């Protein structure tokens, strides 16, 4: 009987031990499946298709400038990243116009750099960097970013992020005709301004969260003492301004973030006197020119001491506008200087909460 009992006990324990493993495996599988179900989707990423006529470069930028100059051209450095829908938009929209392609190729050599890449670059001045370290050293925040060099190896114009084809053509004309020798691009752009159809009908778009008309941005009203300031530079008959208000600022999450700022709206072309966040007296037009406001609408962010900490002067869709708002409000800009890393981490956090992230929707 003892032998039979021992055999039964061994068999029972063995089955229990094996079942434990089965249960553990099933529990692990269930946890993985539940995690997968809870993880939100990532949408909107697109990989740009770059044309074959890009310059084949050894990535020695001084040599590239010299070669461009010898061919009566100027060098353009183009920063991109995988999955960037704005990079794709640059090539699928702006360069869909063959006149744009023809004009660009006539006047420029373009070298593409992956802002996360590891290829070695010899910068102006002879310093060696990887692509990602070079992007970091230059403080690249948006892709695409285009740097235009003159014959003296100086960056004379910069496009931070995607701009529509009309704005892009102004940049081509400005640099190819060497207008930088006589006028700032912001002033040149105003002279080239084309009146477009706008639902605003000659008025600036209004928002309830804008501080009531006041031009003293240094004076804090009660309750705004500890807020960050954001200044919206806009204009009448500005279709891109309309797009911001009619699309992005209709989103409730975006609105909730915007309301946490002391938000001011200025007409970029107005001559009215403005007191800036750091207490300087100027005009809206002059201040915008000093800040280098070239694309409208632009949003410039200041801390409680009146120091500029971030800006949006490119066409961004809802997720990225929210990300800039959050980047400033959370104070993340103080510790994470790479904005692209920040928005990647933010997207992951949102998806882990079970919500989808669409980086290219309004």
What pTM was estimated for this model as a whole?
Answer: 0.86
Residues 6+ apart with CB under 8 A from 22: none
Q: Which two tokens stand for residue 77?
A: 């450095």
Give me 122's structure tokens: 């010899």
**54-95 confidence digits (pLDDT tens):** 999 999 999 999 999 999 999 999 999 999 999 999 999 999
- Quick: pLDDT tens for 137-163: 999 999 999 999 999 999 999 999 999
Mean pLDDT of the chain: 89
Place of tokens 């020119």: 289
Per-residue pLDDT reduced to its tens digit, 93-107? 999 999 999 999 999
pLDDT by residue (tens digit) across 168-226?
999 999 999 999 999 999 888 877 754 444 444 568 999 999 998 778 888 776 767 78
pLDDT, tens digit (0-9, with 9 covering 90-100), for 2-47: 555 454 444 544 444 445 444 455 555 554 555 555 899 999 999 9
What is the gyration radius of the CA atoms in the chain, in angstroms?
Answer: 27
Residues 197, 206: Cα–Cα separation, whole Å: 18
How far apart, in Å, are the Cα atoms of 282 and each of 131, 277, 285? 40, 11, 8
Residue 321 to residue 326: CA distance in whole angstroms: 9
C-alpha–C-alpha distance, residues 170 and 176, integer Å: 10
Query: Is the C-alpha dihedral spanning 249, 253, 255, 257 positive or negative?
Result: negative
**Separation CA 76–CA 64 (nearest Å):** 9
Going along the chain from its start, the domains and CATH numbers come out as 61-185 (3.40.30.10), 229-358 (3.40.30.10)
79: phi then psi, degrees, rounded to nearest 5: -95, 130
């Amino acid at each position: 009987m003892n032998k039979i009992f021992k055999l039964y006990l061994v068999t029972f324990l063995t089955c229990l031990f094996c079942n434990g493993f089965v249960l553990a495996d099933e529990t692990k599988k269930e946890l993985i499946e539940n995690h997968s179900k809870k993880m939100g989707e990532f949408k909107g990423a697109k990989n740009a298709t770059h044309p074959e006529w890009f310059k084949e470069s050894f990535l020695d930028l001084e040599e590239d400038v010299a070669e461009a100059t010898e061919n009566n051209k100027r060098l353009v450095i183009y920063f991109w990243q995988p999955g960037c829908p704005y990079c794709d938009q640059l090539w699928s929209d702006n360069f869909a116009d063959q006149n744009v392609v023809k004009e660009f190729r006539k006047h420029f050599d373009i070298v593409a750099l992956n802002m996360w890449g590891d290829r070695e670059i010899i910068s102006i001045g002879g310093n060696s960097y990887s692509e990602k370290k070079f992007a970091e050293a230059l403080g690249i925040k948006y892709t695409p970013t285009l740097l235009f060099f003159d014959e003296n190896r100086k960056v004379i114009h910069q496009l931070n992020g995607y701009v529509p084809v009309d704005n892009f053509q102004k940049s081509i004309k400005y640099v190819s005709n060497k207008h930088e020798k006589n006028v700032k691009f912001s002033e040149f752009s105003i002279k080239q301004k084309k009146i477009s159809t706008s639902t605003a009908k000659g008025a600036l778009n209004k928002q309830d969260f804008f501080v009531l008309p006041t031009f003293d941005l240094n004076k804090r009203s009660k309750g705004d003492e500890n807020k960050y300031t954001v200044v919206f530079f806009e204009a009448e008959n500005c279709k891109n301004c309309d797009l911001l208000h009619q699309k992005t600022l209709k989103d409730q999450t975006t609105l909730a973030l915007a309301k946490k700022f002391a938000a001011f709206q200025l007409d970029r072309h107005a001559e009215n006197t403005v007191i800036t966040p750091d207490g300087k007296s100027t005009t809206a037009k002059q201040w915008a020119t000093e800040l280098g406001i070239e694309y409208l609408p632009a949003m410039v962010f200041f801390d409680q001491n009146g120091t500029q900490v971030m800006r949006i002067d490119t066409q961004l869709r809802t997720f990225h506008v929210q990300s800039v708002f959050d980047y400033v409000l959370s104070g993340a800009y103080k510790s994470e200087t790479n904005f692209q890393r920040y928005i990647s981490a933010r997207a992951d956090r949102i998806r882990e909460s079970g919500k989808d992230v669409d980086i290219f929707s309004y």
